[in-house]
Structure 1
Amino acid sequence: MAQRTHGVRLSPPTWLTAGLRPQPAPVPWAAVARAAVALAVPLAVGLAAGQPAYGALVSMGALSGVIGDTADAYRMRFFNIAVPQLFGAVGVALGTLVYGHDWTAVAVLTLVALVSGMISSIGSVASVAGLLLLLNAVVGAGLPLPQPWWKAPLLLTAGGAVVLLLTLFAWPLRGGVPERAAVAASYRSTAAFLRAAGTPEHDERRQAVTQSLNASYDLLLAHRTRRHGRSPGLTRLIAQLNALIPIVEAASAAKLRPARLGPLPEAWPAAVLTLADTVGRSPAPTAVPLDLPTPTGPSERALHQALRYAAAVGAESDPAHTAAPDRLGRPAAPWARTRRATRAALFSRASWRYGLRLALCIGLAQVVVSVLPVPRSYWVALTVTFVLKPDFGSVFSRAVLRALGTAAGLLIAMPVLSEVPRGWWDVPTVALLAALIPACSAKGYAFQTAAITPVILLLSDLLNHQGFRLVLPRLFDSLIGCGIALVAGYLCWPESWHTRIGDRLADAVTEASAYVVLAFAGAPGQDRTAGPRRRRRLYRDLSAVRSEFQRALTEPPPTGPPAAAWWPLVIAVERVVEATTATQVRVEHGEPAPPPGEVAALAADLAALAEALRTGAPAPRPAAAPDGPADVLGPLRREVRAACALASPVLG
């Protein structure tokens, strides 16, 4: 219970406590079982063969695989585990070759850090690969690993192979199940969004639909290649997901139903749930009888048409014949995507800046441990690497959470290292501690760190036999690493402690302005997929703004507290995009088309708002216009006015 002094409530600031609240995520029991088996079995085999150090190295490789197994689709899980393991093998080989050569190790690890940071910008798999490249190089340069140099990479890769086999064991039986489950979840999220039309929960449900659609498209399109036309199951799922978009559009329009008609009949969301059950249950074409009420207005006519179309797509034996044009466009070939991503990593200013920042911090860490008498100093550079991962959030909050998580992990490790005898007792101990990693990782970074720390310490002890003496040095090493990351990786780089919400939001508002023009263009021969694609890109941009907002809230003053002022404006811009979609749907189903001059005026107001967000100029004040029941642009105009009004206090 918080203490009070003179009527003032004393409590820790939000930026300090945000990462210490466990996330409400379910325990991934399958991942818990895999982690326990993958780390304990190699250790048992090593003990049985009289080579506990070999078993410990295989378990370390398995630990990397457990941490990297974050995807749902089996194809992506294969790449998420296999590709980083290869980079990790290269890293540990380089580290082993420079072990004991202090200044050579400094130079090599600094160069590896530069490469690791630059390739992290290519994509999620490359990000994990860059992480393992650097982590294993640090471990190889800091621990006495078995010789010759090729033995440690082989053993670590074997550990990753164990996780890969356990992960993909059910692929022949459950292939396609995660993808179907994701699409079905998007349908269910849309049903909840439809049910919330005109209620206070509408905005929250809209955001949930956006997140669900993002996840489903990422899952399906990540491995869609030129084989797309020869993969009927994948083709059907993409067609069913594309067919969901008109339902989402109609759900947005349902918010504008006249109040005199009352709430939307339950039959509409019930029909969406029926489609969701069909998608999740069977990959085969299935005819779904829908009992739909008679439409009473433009939004219900749009909903009726969208639901009938989605049911037809699900019943078609060859969905490629009836599916609407792909609303996200066909992806480029894998080699083309890789080439573009590699070029971006090599020539992007942001990629070089992050690579140089990481190289500077790793170089400093290695210089510090080469000059100061720090035993088993690899932990300093490990801490720097974990803290500075760019796609894991705020550097400041991660440094704080890393220190707290390490301290908690050391408390767990103390009785293990002091009371558990080395040998066969290590096997059940590692199994128990490994099982905590997936369970705690779902709760947050500090909890993940607390779970990983005792496992690494126990496995390290099997290599260097220091026992309880490992505990306090590891705490000091973590504090040194956090300090280096905070000073050289955070305070010395101004963009780290300045929020980028305004710039990203300005870009999204510019896109919203173009979307308003596109939504009501109505030109003959216009690409009907252009609007949905732009809207999906807009919602992704706004999701990135939300992520930036969440990151900023975990920063200390002066960054964190002012960031909270942006939140109402983020919501307002999302409402502008949704109002544009809703108005377009109503126009397509019976409402009169808006005058081009009024559309241009609204787009100009949004463009002016974007410029104000970039430059800090006063927010525009949209001119008054007719705003009655017959004004089809009325809802959109009100949202634009609200966004401009909310921008004024933010811009000062």
Structure 2
Amino acid sequence: MPWLAALRHTGRAGLRLERAIGDPVRAVRGAAAVALVIFPVLALFGPAQATSAAMGAFIAGTATFQRSFRPRPSLALAAGAGLGVSTFLGYLAVGVPGLFPVLLAAWCFAAGLAWALGPTAGVVAANTVTVMLVVVQLPVSVPTAAGHAALCALGGGVQALVITLFPVKNWSAQRAALADAYAELADYARRLRHDPHATIDPAPLMTARHAATLTPWQARRRPAELSGLRSMAERIRPTLAAIADPELGAAAEGPERDRARELLDGAAQLLDALARAIRTGQPLVYPTTAPAALAAPGRVLRGPALRAARRLTTLLGRATGTLDPSTGESTLEVPLPGVDGVLRRPGLARMVPVAVRSARRQLRTGSPVLHHAVRLSGVVTAAYLLARLTGLHHSYWAAMTAAMVIRPDFGQTYSRGVARVAGTVVGVALATGVVLLADPGDRLSCGLAVLCIGGAYLTLRTGYALATTCISAYVVFLLSIGSGNAVETGTERILMTLLGGAVALLGYALFPTWETARLPERTAEWIAAVGRYSGAVLAGYGDPAGRDPRAVRAALLDLREARAAFLQARERAEAEPVRHGAHSPQLSRKQLGRVREALGHLSRISLLMEAHLPPRQAEPVHGAAQFGRLLTESTAAAGAAVLTGTPVDFRPVRLAQQEWEAAETPATDPELALTHRSLTDQQDVVRAGSRLLVGALADLERALRRPRG
């Protein structure tokens, strides 16, 4: 995409407003917490201290609105603690000539590394930079600096206390994530009725897993109905595909196919009902036709399709029993990593060493998080020093704007830059006009600031431009307490916003992190992950007694992460002003589409084979483990070939599959065939699956083939 087109696209994205608002009750609660801090501090200590306390409460409240499955009080406390430390160090550094820019650069570098923990940590860390710049204006003594830092932390503590005392829709994020997973399964079942080769979007299942990872505090308070349902959703997914598949499930035509469609329709209805019950917390309402559709799966189905259908009805019965205990079904007991079957998320006290280890892993050449940290540090410090040369009193707005605009990728940085400038200009102009015309006193200014905070919380989902308008007006009202000329102050803030935005956008252009250049790496990781998953499944057929369920599960999770990373990189690359092929080796957009289809086919086949994994007491399928190892090695070599630009060759896998199938001769004696009936079924599944895997590898090989010339 050319530069002008990319800038136009990202600019429109930044100014786009969505028809969505936040929860009004939560917005009022967050604004009320700020009011509980700002008015008493203003009355007791004065405007400067009230500013520090209000900033702490506002940013801590903003942290609780981020996309996170941690307890909201802990997010507020963590944000308040970070704000307190940054404010204290900033106040001390301002008193030493030349020290503050050094501290600012170091703090911004650390804030950039915080993205290693995720977007929520990165956004909160960036906010600590802005608070440091806003509240640190004049040199003060150490006791005064400690007082301002304590007030910032107090704001976070009050937010946490208010959230604890007045909870609003607790566990709603976890419920929504789990309900989305079941809704995706229902949609998948409906699509399988018409397209037996349909694929599922694993993103809702990945999100549900993140939501099910609990802190010790959450593990003690989780609603009973949220326990066990996610693991059942994971096991329902392959059974749906196994029933619908014409090669490894029901026949392509005839009564078996009709019965499979009935089962899938009934499952879709029941999964939708489960999703509604999980999302709302209301009792499960059974669809009128679903129980009849799911009854007696063995009436028509035979073989692998029958086994998958029985497994599906069993899992659906246990899932409904979890939400409706009157059915008499017990919840499914599935061992999960962690103590007492709970996926563990470290609490606040244990997050410090985790954060240090995560940041240390990013200190390597080529890490995008390290690139972002260096870029954030350089851009914010440059904006601060350039603004200081102007001699304007509100020069800190330039660095503050730069800190809020810079993000790890091109699209977000440039869209936020446009939205930040537009929102700041509008917000500052409106708030300055109100201050100039109405001349509100300290208390009324604080009241208007609280009102703007509520508006910012309410419009966080509407669009960054509108939320920035509210935030800018809030800062103007807050800093107007005891300030001088309103018009001059507003003009300076707008000029510094333009300067900071320009420095941020120019800094990213000079030191970019292009996702387009990372597409070959993401493609290679996805190819290798698919091979590991397929190899783990085949190993389960080769040695049922020694099969480790965690190996298949771990390979599946790695596959999902690799797929998500590829799709995210491809989406970001589409908005970048970098042509496919500008970085060697590179794949064209058409090739990437074909690779995605081939890898999706490979994943689906492996998923079908996982659905038919034999029990531990079953006989091993000779040669399955060896073929799985060869498949894993070949896909790893294919990933390396993508990175080096060399041809991909899966001929050894094709030859091995042909030799393996030729060596497998089915039993002809009727008594022997009856004795080893289950083994024959397993061999049929593996034989058909291996043929499909080889066919999908051929599609992948063609997709990766470099054009001649």
Please, what TM-score do these two structures have when normalized by structure 2?
A: 0.76
The correspondence for 2:389, drawn from 371, 384, 387, is: 371
Is the alpha carbon distance of 1:593 and 1:450 closer, same or farther for their aligned partners in structure 2, counting shifts above 3 Å? farther
1:6 aligns with none
Alpha-carbon displacement from aligned partner over 1:187-227 (angstroms, at most 9, x marks no partner):
23322222221557986x822xx2222222212214259x9
Any conservation in 2 of the 1:15–1:554 contact (CA below 8 Å)? yes
Any conservation in 1 of the 2:452–2:473 contact (CA below 8 Å)? yes
2:607 aligns with 581
The answer for unaligned runs of 5 or more in structure 1 is 1-9
1:528 aligns with 549
Is the alpha carbon distance of 1:164 and 1:617 closer, same or farther for their aligned partners in structure 2, counting shifts above 3 Å? same
The answer for unaligned runs of 5 or more in structure 2 is 662-683
Matches within 5 A, 1:98-247: 98-99=93-94, 101-123=96-118, 126-142=121-137, 148-171=144-167, 175-176=170-171, 178-197=173-192, 199=194, 206-207=200-201, 210-223=202-215, 231=220, 233=222, 237-247=226-236
Residue 326 of structure 1: SS of its match in structure 2? Answer: coil
Is the alpha carbon distance of 1:103 and 1:241 closer, same or farther for their aligned partners in structure 2, counting shifts above 3 Å? same
2:296 aligns with 294
1:543 aligns with 564
| 2:240 aligned with 1:251 | yes
1:472 counterpart letter in structure 2: T
Task: State how far apart, in whole Å, the 2-side matches of 1:505 and 1:651 are.
Answer: 21
The RMSD of aligned alpha carbons is: 4.4
Is the alpha carbon distance of 1:177 and 1:438 closer, same or farther for their aligned partners in structure 2, counting shifts above 3 Å? closer
Is the alpha carbon distance of 1:306 and 1:211 closer, same or farther for their aligned partners in structure 2, counting shifts above 3 Å? same
Deviation at 1:75, TM superposition (A): 5.2
Is the alpha carbon distance of 1:593 and 1:478 closer, same or farther for their aligned partners in structure 2, counting shifts above 3 Å? farther
Residue 145 of structure 2: SS of its match in structure 1? Answer: coil
1:270 aligns with 269
Deviation at 1:397, TM superposition (A): 4.0
Deviation at 1:89, TM superposition (A): 0.8
| 2:379 aligned with 1:399 | no
Residue 526 of structure 1: SS of its match in structure 2? Answer: coil
The correspondence for 1:472, drawn from 491, 501, 525, is: 491
1:441 aligns with 460
Alpha-carbon displacement from aligned partner over 1:251-297 (angstroms, at most 9, x marks no partner):
33344244421472221222323444555576999999955233325
The correspondence for 1:450, drawn from 464, 469, 476, is: 469
1:326 aligns with 336
- Equivalenced residues, count: 634
Deviation at 1:344, TM superposition (A): 3.6
Is the alpha carbon distance of 1:102 and 1:551 closer, same or farther for their aligned partners in structure 2, counting shifts above 3 Å? farther
2:644 aligns with 615
2:356 aligns with 342
Residue 481 of structure 2: SS of its match in structure 1? Answer: helix
2:595 aligns with 569
Is the alpha carbon distance of 1:337 and 1:436 closer, same or farther for their aligned partners in structure 2, counting shifts above 3 Å? closer
Name which of structure 1's ranges 526-535 and 327-336 shifts more when overlaid on structure 2: 327-336
Task: State how far apart, in whole Å, the 2-side matches of 1:306 and 1:14 are.
Answer: 46
Any conservation in 2 of the 1:56–1:459 contact (CA below 8 Å)? yes
2:520 aligns with 502
Is the alpha carbon distance of 1:319 and 1:530 closer, same or farther for their aligned partners in structure 2, counting shifts above 3 Å? farther
2:16 aligns with 21
Alpha-carbon displacement from aligned partner over 1:412-452 (angstroms, at most 9, x marks no partner):
44543443432254355434432332333213434433332
Any conservation in 1 of the 2:383–2:503 contact (CA below 8 Å)? yes
Name which of structure 1's ranges 265-274 and 11-20 shifts more when overlaid on structure 2: 11-20
Any conservation in 2 of the 1:39–1:431 contact (CA below 8 Å)? yes
Is the alpha carbon distance of 1:219 and 1:543 closer, same or farther for their aligned partners in structure 2, counting shifts above 3 Å? same
2:81 aligns with 86
Task: State how far apart, in whole Å, the 2-side matches of 1:111 and 1:346 are.
Answer: 15
Any conservation in 2 of the 1:433–1:455 contact (CA below 8 Å)? yes
Any conservation in 2 of the 1:80–1:125 contact (CA below 8 Å)? no
Any conservation in 1 of the 2:459–2:467 contact (CA below 8 Å)? yes
Deviation at 1:43, TM superposition (A): 4.8
Task: State how far apart, in whole Å, the 2-side matches of 1:51 and 1:651 are.
Answer: 74
Task: State how far apart, in whole Å, the 2-side matches of 1:136 and 1:26 are.
Answer: 25
Task: State how far apart, in whole Å, the 1-side matches of 2:479 and 2:706 are.
Answer: 54
Is the alpha carbon distance of 1:110 and 1:633 closer, same or farther for their aligned partners in structure 2, counting shifts above 3 Å? same
Task: State how far apart, in whole Å, the 2-side matches of 1:124 and 1:12 are.
Answer: 24
Deviation at 1:453, TM superposition (A): 2.1
Deviation at 1:247, TM superposition (A): 0.3
Q: Which has the larger radius of gyration?
A: 2
Matches within 5 A, 1:488-499: 488=507, 490-493=508-511, 495-496=513-514, 498-499=516-517
Residue 632 of structure 1: SS of its match in structure 2? Answer: helix
Name which of structure 1's ranges 330-339 and 89-98 shifts more when overlaid on structure 2: 330-339
Please, what TM-score do these two structures have when normalized by structure 1?
A: 0.82
Is the alpha carbon distance of 1:275 and 1:493 closer, same or farther for their aligned partners in structure 2, counting shifts above 3 Å? same
1:631 aligns with 688
1:304 aligns with 310
Task: State how far apart, in whole Å, the 2-side matches of 1:650 and 1:579 are.
Answer: 28
Task: State how far apart, in whole Å, the 1-side matches of 2:345 and 2:449 are.
Answer: 44
Matches within 5 A, 1:352-371: 352-371=370-389
Alpha-carbon displacement from aligned partner over 1:53-73 (angstroms, at most 9, x marks no partner):
544443322220232113578
Any conservation in 2 of the 1:380–1:480 contact (CA below 8 Å)? yes
Task: State how far apart, in whole Å, the 1-side matches of 2:35 and 2:71 are.
Answer: 25
Any conservation in 1 of the 2:111–2:373 contact (CA below 8 Å)? yes
Task: State how far apart, in whole Å, the 1-side matches of 2:97 and 2:320 are.
Answer: 63
2:667 aligns with none
